[in-house]
Amino acid sequence: GAAGPADAILYTHLPAATGDVKAVGFVRDCEVNRFALTGLDATATAQLATKGVIVRGAAGLPGISTPAL
Protein backbone atom coordinates (compact mmCIF):
# COMPACT_ATOMS: atom_id res chain seq x y z
CA GLY A 1 0.00 0.00 0.00
CA ALA A 2 0.91 3.66 -0.08
CA ALA A 3 2.02 3.62 3.58
CA GLY A 4 4.02 0.41 3.20
CA PRO A 5 3.20 -3.27 3.52
CA ALA A 6 0.43 -4.48 5.82
CA ASP A 7 2.32 -6.55 8.40
CA ALA A 8 0.00 -6.34 11.43
CA ILE A 9 -3.21 -4.83 12.81
CA LEU A 10 -3.22 -2.71 15.95
CA TYR A 11 -5.56 -3.92 18.68
CA THR A 12 -6.73 -0.37 19.41
CA HIS A 13 -6.16 3.21 18.27
CA LEU A 14 -2.89 4.87 19.26
CA PRO A 15 -2.42 8.63 19.45
CA ALA A 16 0.35 10.17 17.38
CA ALA A 17 3.70 9.98 19.17
CA THR A 18 7.39 10.27 18.54
CA GLY A 19 9.76 7.54 19.62
CA ASP A 20 8.90 4.00 20.70
CA VAL A 21 5.44 3.21 22.04
CA LYS A 22 4.26 -0.13 23.47
CA ALA A 23 1.22 -1.55 21.71
CA VAL A 24 -0.67 -4.78 21.14
CA GLY A 25 -1.21 -6.03 17.62
CA PHE A 26 -2.44 -9.00 15.66
CA VAL A 27 0.63 -10.26 13.77
CA ARG A 28 -0.15 -13.86 12.72
CA ASP A 29 -2.62 -16.74 12.76
CA CYS A 30 -5.86 -14.92 13.58
CA GLU A 31 -9.16 -13.87 12.06
CA VAL A 32 -10.34 -10.26 11.98
CA ASN A 33 -13.58 -8.52 10.99
CA ARG A 34 -13.18 -6.45 7.80
CA PHE A 35 -15.83 -4.00 9.01
CA ALA A 36 -13.77 -3.13 12.13
CA LEU A 37 -10.76 -2.07 10.04
CA THR A 38 -9.98 1.29 8.46
CA GLY A 39 -8.19 1.74 5.13
CA LEU A 40 -8.15 -1.92 4.16
CA ASP A 41 -7.82 -2.64 0.45
CA ALA A 42 -7.30 -5.80 -1.63
CA THR A 43 -3.51 -5.45 -1.52
CA ALA A 44 -3.46 -5.18 2.28
CA THR A 45 -5.83 -8.14 2.58
CA ALA A 46 -3.46 -10.25 0.48
CA GLN A 47 -0.40 -9.08 2.45
CA LEU A 48 -2.06 -9.93 5.77
CA ALA A 49 -3.00 -13.38 4.42
CA THR A 50 0.71 -14.14 3.93
CA LYS A 51 1.11 -13.63 7.70
CA GLY A 52 -1.83 -15.91 8.51
CA VAL A 53 -4.20 -13.02 9.27
CA ILE A 54 -7.56 -13.93 7.72
CA VAL A 55 -9.89 -11.01 6.99
CA ARG A 56 -13.53 -12.10 7.27
CA GLY A 57 -16.42 -10.26 5.63
CA ALA A 58 -17.22 -9.58 2.00
CA ALA A 59 -15.30 -6.67 0.50
CA GLY A 60 -17.47 -3.86 -0.82
CA LEU A 61 -20.63 -4.94 0.99
CA PRO A 62 -22.12 -3.10 3.96
CA GLY A 63 -22.34 -4.93 7.25
CA ILE A 64 -25.76 -6.33 8.10
CA SER A 65 -26.96 -6.37 11.68
CA THR A 66 -29.91 -8.54 12.57
CA PRO A 67 -31.45 -8.49 16.04
CA ALA A 68 -31.59 -11.71 18.03
CA LEU A 69 -34.99 -13.29 17.75
The whole-model pTM stands at: 0.72
Cβ atoms of 23 and 8 within 8 Å: the answer is: no
Please choose, from the candidates 11, 64, 3, 14, the residue with its C-alpha nearest in 3D space to the C-alpha of residue 39.
3
pLDDT > 90 fraction of the chain, expressed in percent and rounded: 57
Q: What are phi and psi of 53, to 5 degrees?
A: -90, 110
What confidence tens digit (pLDDT) does each residue in 31-50 have? 999 988 988 899 999 999 99
Please provide the average confidence, as pLDDT, over all residues in the chain: 85
